[in-house]
Structures are given as structure tokens and as C-alpha cells.
């Protein structure tokens, strides 16, 4: 069984699709595509069906040479069951995810994305939506840092599961 990661932000057009695509990029580099599966969702339903924000796509292309793929969707209660690890971009997303989990049975699966950063001393991935290009580039840097740390941890966990 592949290990399933879900990245969550508010609208699912900036931070979480960037995290999903960056993680897929890292998985590609290590030939781990099939063993770890990534998806993203938003706690709000404002942008359902929309592609990632163009400004985020430009930042990802210029910094990492990757194309952002996907269409925004809203986080469902079933996601809590289906995914092994759910990564919230900020505290508000974290609380919104836990609010879907009335009994608290999935609480252990929900983590803050920045817990996996090693280069950036930051607790939340800022929402770049209302800022300029610099904000989008900064988010790419944070997410690359966090995804690198996360991948290390997931590789350890998922290899333990298989042996």
C-alpha cells in the first residue's frame, strides 16, 4: 500500500497545490512515485475546480522548473480516514481540519507543515494570495524545505511498514 499524504490550505490554489507538486517533484527525483502518493485540498470551497494560482505556478517554474498541476477541491471528512498524514499550512487550517474530526480519532494524522522545516524557523506557511511575487517565491522556499524534511520522515515510516 502506498503511503498517502494530503496537503491542506484554505483555497487549494496556492500553498497546498504547490506543496503537492513540490513533493511529487522530490519523489520523481528519488524514483518513489508509486510508494508515496500526494494530493491537496482546501478547507474552504471558494475555488473548487480552479487550477493553481498563476503567480504560484510562475514561482514554482522559475525556482524549481516544475509545472503546477491539479484542480482545487474541498477537504472532505472521508479524507481524514483515507490519508496517512494530513499537513496543514497554518494553524487556522489545522483547526479547521480537526473540526471535521468530531471524535478526535484522526488527530494523530494531522500535522503542521512547518514542523518539517530545517532551514526556516517559522511556524506557519504564510498565505501569499494578497501579496506580490516575493511572497510566492518565499512560500516555494519554505515548502521545499518542509517537503524535504517530510520526505525523509515518511521514507523512514513507510519503509518500516514494509518490513
Rounded average pLDDT over 100-118 = 97
Grid cell 494570495 is found at 129
Query: Is there a contact between 146 and 119 (Cβ–Cβ < 8 Å)?
Result: no
Domain boundaries, the chain: 3-161
Q: Annotate 96-116 with three-state secondary structure.
A: HHHHCCCCCCCHHHEEEHHHH
Is residue 127 part of the annotated active site? The answer reads yes
Report pLDDT for 62: 96
Model pTM score? 0.96
How far apart (Å, rounded) are the C-alpha atoms in residues 120 and 103? 33
Is residue 15 part of the annotated active site? The answer reads yes
Q: Annotate 13-71 with three-state secondary structure.
A: CCHHHHHHHHHHHHHHHCCCCCCEEEEEEECCCCCCCCCCCHHHHHHHHHHHCCCCCCC
User: Is residue 8 predicted with pLDDT exceeding 70?
Assistant: yes
Give the CATH architecture of domain 3-161.
3-Layer(aba) Sandwich (3.40)
Is residue 53 part of the annotated active site? The answer reads no
Catalytic annotation, pick one of 15, 53, 55, 117: 15
User: Is residue 133 predicted with pLDDT exceeding 90?
Assistant: yes
Catalytic annotation, pick one of 39, 90, 127, 145: 127
Amino acid at each position: 500500500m502506498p503511503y498517502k499524504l494530503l496537503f491542506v490550505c484554505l483555497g487549494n490554489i496556492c500553498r497546498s497545490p504547490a506543496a503537492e507538486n513540490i513533493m511529487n517533484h522530490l519523489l520523481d527525483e528519488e524514483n518513489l512515485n508509486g510508494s508515496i502518493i500526494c494530493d491537496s485540498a482546501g478547507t474552504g470551497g471558494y475555488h473548487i475546480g480552479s487550477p493553481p494560482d498563476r503567480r504560484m505556478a510562475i514561482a514554482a517554474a522559475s525556482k524549481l522548473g516544475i509545472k503546477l498541476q491539479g484542480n482545487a477541491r474541498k477537504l472532505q471528512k472521508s479524507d481524514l480516514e483515507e490519508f496517512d498524514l494530513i499537513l496543514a499550512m497554518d494553524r487556522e487550517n489545522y483547526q479547521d481540519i480537526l473540526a471535521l474530526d468530531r471524535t478526535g480519532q484522526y488527530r494523530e494524522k494531522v500535522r503542521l507543515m512547518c514542523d518539517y522545516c530545517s532551514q526556516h524557523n517559522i511556524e506557519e506557511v504564510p498565505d501569499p494570495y494578497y501579496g506580490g511575487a516575493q511572497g510566492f517565491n518565499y512560500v516555494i522556499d519554505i515548502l521545499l524545505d518542509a517537503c524535504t524534511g517530510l520526505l525523509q520522515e515518511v521514507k523512514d515510516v513507510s519503509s518500516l511498514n514494509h518490513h
